[in-house]
Structure 1
Amino acid sequence: MTAGVTETIAPRTRTQGSLVACLAFAAMTGSVVAGLGSPIVLEVSVEREVSISSAQWTLIITLLVGVICTPVLSRLADGDLKRRVLIGALLATAVGCAVGALVPTFGGLLTGRALQGFGYAMVPLTVSIARDHLHGVVLARTMGVLSTSIAVGVGVGNPVMGLCVLVYDYRAAFGFAFVVSAGGALWAWRRVPVAGVARHKIRLDPAGAVLLGGGLAGVLLAVARGQVWGWSAPLTVGLGAGGVVLLASWAVVELRVAAPMVDLRLACARGLVGVNLTAVLLGINIFGGVAVVLLLAQRPVEDGVGFGYTVFETGLLMLPMAVASLVCPAMARWLERWMPPRLVLPLGSALVTLSFGGFAVWHDRTWHIAAMMGLMGMGIGIAYSAMPALIVARTPAERTASATGINQVLRLMGGAVGAAVMTAVLARYTPPGMHNPLEQGYVAALAVACLAGVVAVLVGCVLVPACDDVHRAEDVDTPVRRD
């Protein structure tokens, strides 16, 4: 009988292991592709003869599309379309890679980068699939790996992408990313289990998607280009005001429709509001701060400010982040045994903030970059692995995909805001007629990133309650029925 049990468990273990590997590869595929933005900004600026502030839109537009498509795909993943949606998102990402590699214009590059925004939806999709097919310790470990896959994928993929750029140019990196994305779609098609018959109809929110996309685009464009156009220019004011109106309209629509694109009530639920607000602030901190560090690392050394590293060398400098992000989810689980789980998130946020603060002060040696990346990776690994655990513990099983998707959307929204704000700060410190900002510009931008990080720490400490407190509040508020 023991032998029979062993034979039954072993195939199941192997099956779970192959599914975990497939989901991890899919999640990291999205992050590798989506992470192409920051490292190639200077390369694109030179290759396409555009300003750095314009080239920064290869990063911003991917985040913007990620903000829009992630909740839509997460909504579909709350039904029985998880496998199809995952494969479709990977194929859309692959098409974006092909467009970016083959269309020889800046507009074509932006189109390709926009399609690559589908890669950011991989985390909530893979988390939802894992929740359906994995359990116990395997599920907890898998969620930690998936939640940190963006940092790991960027850190591992950037050296490879940089080598492609070194050998040819950024289009070779897009070609490699196409192979990876298409391979991920094929693996998911072969390995992810087919869902059964649909249990309920999935309703989408096209009006919400249009309002959110238009509002964010207007606000981000006004922020990123305000220094160039003039902050009081009619175009800047019009775009900013119009974007705010659209975002306000989006919030009203989301609170009234039966099936909102982003469930603001769920996002602002007592147990989740602190986690989600921390996600926004960490997005501003991490995406904005990394963009500044990479620009400084690749800046020519002639004026004594930059390091003059190639995209490949910059990618190698990001390896400490990848390694730390991969190792630290286990550290986060260990910390949860010795301290309240809700305090693990602000601890990770503090490490990320400390990394950028230290680099703002010390940024004239190569090891300063490596040390900053390693410390940031530790913070990302701890904070991003704590988020899904906090969400799952406070969310009904049938709402997991939506809840994790909302968190991912807010993280990307913060990233888009952070990238746009850093673009504006750097433009503010760029003298007329020059392409690169003064050294004070990098320091000021990193200070802004640190400010967002400090607020994230405070929010995590104050607004993330213990899970037992949330359950007690639900018992009081809903004495008859609990969702």
Structure 2
Amino acid sequence: MTPMSSSPSVDLAARASVDGRWTPRLVLLLIALAWPTQLLAAGGILGANATAGVAQAFHTTQVVWFGLTLTLVSTLLTPFVIKLGDLYGKRRVMLAMTGLGALGEALAALAGSFWLVLAGRAIAGFYGPFGALSFAAVRDVFPPRLVKPASGIMGSSVGLVALVSPFLAGWLVDNWGYRGALWFLAAATAVAFLLVALLVPETPRHAFDSGFDWLGGLVIGGGLTAVVYAVGQGQSWGWSDARTLGWLAMGAVALVAFLFVERRSAHPILNLHVLRRRPVALALTAGGLAQTVAYTLPGLAILLALYPAIPGVSDGLGWTAHHNAVVSVSWNLVMFGTGLLVSRWLRRFDARRIWCAGLIVMAVGYTLVGFYHGDELQLIVTSCVANVGAGVVVAGAPALVVGVVSHDEQGLGSGMLNMLISLFGAILTAGAYAVLAANGTVVHGTAFYLDAGYSWVFWLGALVTLAALLLSLFIPPLHDPAEEDQQPEAALA
């Protein structure tokens, strides 16, 4: 049995009841994990709204680094975070991550130069891999019968974030500029630190060797970072540019080298034997592809909504940001509501069937969006269909991971899923902009896009979803955490 922690929040808490019923303490615990996890999504929306203000305030043409710096640091650190959470307990690592995140956003808000802003964003990037630990922590601290529902609720709460964040971002930026958005992120991350400190118990350690494969972490983290950077810059540099090809080549070489480094390491940072198992590889790849579509396509749809309507030049809808936020309330509520329902069904039905049904609906939905997106009514109806599927995806993906890895492998599985979402997201975004550019025109240095480009972006999302569905058909039956003999030692009543 795991010894008692020195943390009062662990030692003084009663143990969870074995019947798996929700209690007030478990509800608070779920909030404490969901708040910092979904703050990552809110941060992306607020950061996007603050970008124009940063560019104007510092008169820079390099404003792309405002968001890219955080993404690259987060990608680089993810493998280290996975291993550290298993070695020292996820709560300790979460506290360090949220503390650095709040510090970094505050530094960026106070910065008087653009390069100091980037330094703050780099420090804030330490908070980026939080999701790699939070979903794994659910399995450590919740009764087995509640692992799937709790994971589903935490995943589907992204719908609430997408519902509120555009209004919040507009209010903050309109009244206090980009610094208002950054100060909010600093304060919200500080709240996340307090929630974790007060409500989340320390989790059991799932790795007991004291060694740490720094070289392996740097190689895989650096390789993924190089690929994400190349894909992110490819649109502006050009896909045949020597810089794009060079960064892609360096990333590919690093990822291949990682396989050899890990084979020789006495303390590998990622257990390749787990990742080579067919059910794990299928679940992670399918989950990564599907969640990438669910998270990325709504952001790309904002281009359609906000770009102007100029006959023969631009086929955007010409909405204001506020009008887009009002219209998008409908499909974000659908995503959240569907996710809540699915989180209950995961206890009663085969998660694979629910997952595949969600993928079919999301593929059909984005196919319809590609055909019908010319006004508010069309976009609401078709996007609501797509987000019924997306709600299943964001709630069901954690259940896939839970069903193919053991308790001790949960951190690795959740962390790898997060890394794949980052990688696939960069590739899908780059592919979408390439499609738009092929169906657009440039006027006075500004790119505008025609309707065929927008249609193909949504159809691209449908095709990626179908690829995830094809992989999912080969996932074998999942095991249920409720059938495990061991109750999580850190669970709370």
Q: 1:205: which partner in 2?
A: 213
How far off is 1:383 after superposition?
Answer: 1.6
Asked if residue 397 in structure 1 is aligned to residue 442 in structure 2, the reply is: no
Asked if residue 273 in structure 1 is aligned to residue 281 in structure 2, the reply is: yes
Separation (CA, whole Å) in 1 of partners of 2:339 and 2:399: 11
Contact 2:151 2:343 survives alignment (8 Å): no
Cα root mean square deviation, aligned:
3.4
Asked if residue 85 in structure 1 is aligned to residue 93 in structure 2, the reply is: yes
Separation (CA, whole Å) in 2 of partners of 1:196 and 1:286: 32
Separation (CA, whole Å) in 1 of partners of 2:170 and 2:407: 41
Separation (CA, whole Å) in 1 of partners of 2:95 and 2:83: 15
Q: 1:166: which partner in 2?
A: 174
Q: 2:478: which partner in 1?
A: 467
Separation (CA, whole Å) in 2 of partners of 1:19 and 1:120: 21
Separation (CA, whole Å) in 1 of partners of 2:50 and 2:386: 21
Could you tell me which amino acid in structure 2 is paired with residue 212 of structure 1?
A: I
Q: 2:393: which partner in 1?
A: 383
SS class of match (2:247): helix
Asked if residue 409 in structure 1 is aligned to residue 419 in structure 2, the reply is: yes
Q: 2:460: which partner in 1?
A: 448
Deviates more, 1:339-348 or 1:450-459: 339-348
Contact 1:60 1:416 survives alignment (8 Å): no
Contact 1:275 1:460 survives alignment (8 Å): yes
Q: How does 1:7-406 map to 2 (within 5 A)?
A: 13-39=23-49, 58-103=66-111, 107-194=115-202, 200-201=208-209, 203-301=211-309, 305-333=315-343, 340-406=350-416
Q: 1:478: which partner in 2?
A: none
How far off is 1:111 after superposition?
Answer: 4.5
Contact 1:288 1:422 survives alignment (8 Å): no
Could you tell me which amino acid in structure 1 is paired with residue 179 of structure 2?
A: R
How far off is 1:158 after superposition?
Answer: 3.0
Contact 1:219 1:239 survives alignment (8 Å): yes
**Cα distance 1:108–1:426, how it changes in 2: closer, same or farther (>3 A)?**
farther
- Relative to the length of structure 1, the TM-score reads 0.82
Q: CA offsets per residue over residues 174-200 of structure 1, 9 Å max, x none?
A: 211211111110121122224689982
SS class of match (1:437): strand
Contact 2:294 2:393 survives alignment (8 Å): no
Could you tell me which amino acid in structure 2 is paired with residue 216 of structure 1?
A: L
Could you tell me the percent identity over the aligned residues? 23
Separation (CA, whole Å) in 2 of partners of 1:300 and 1:47: 25
Q: CA offsets per residue over residues 316-373 of structure 1, 9 Å max, x none?
A: 4443444333322343256558864212223222333333322222222123444455
User: Where in structure 2 are there 5+ consecutive unaligned residues?
Assistant: 1-15, 480-493
Separation (CA, whole Å) in 2 of partners of 1:443 and 1:44: 31
Q: CA offsets per residue over residues 424-481 of structure 1, 9 Å max, x none?
A: 44444453443233223333333333321221121112x211237xxxxxxxxxxxxx
Separation (CA, whole Å) in 2 of partners of 1:369 and 1:62: 32
How far off is 1:278 after superposition?
Answer: 1.0
Separation (CA, whole Å) in 2 of partners of 1:367 and 1:116: 39
How far off is 1:121 after superposition?
Answer: 2.7
Deviates more, 1:72-81 or 1:172-181: 72-81
Separation (CA, whole Å) in 2 of partners of 1:38 and 1:421: 20
Could you tell me which amino acid in structure 2 is paired with residue 332 of structure 1?
A: V
Contact 1:89 1:119 survives alignment (8 Å): yes
User: Where in structure 1 are there 5+ consecutive unaligned residues?
Assistant: 1-7, 469-483
Deviates more, 1:297-306 or 1:380-389: 297-306
**Cα distance 1:34–1:223, how it changes in 2: closer, same or farther (>3 A)?**
closer
Contact 1:19 1:192 survives alignment (8 Å): yes
**Cα distance 1:268–1:58, how it changes in 2: closer, same or farther (>3 A)?**
farther
SS class of match (1:272): helix
Contact 1:283 1:418 survives alignment (8 Å): no
Deviates more, 1:191-200 or 1:207-216: 191-200
Q: 2:490: which partner in 1?
A: none
**Cα distance 1:320–1:268, how it changes in 2: closer, same or farther (>3 A)?**
farther
Asked if residue 436 in structure 1 is aligned to residue 470 in structure 2, the reply is: no
Deviates more, 1:147-156 or 1:182-191: 147-156
How far off is 1:280 after superposition?
Answer: 3.0
- Relative to the length of structure 2, the TM-score reads 0.80
Q: CA offsets per residue over residues 125-153 of structure 1, 9 Å max, x none?
A: 22333322221443332111223344443
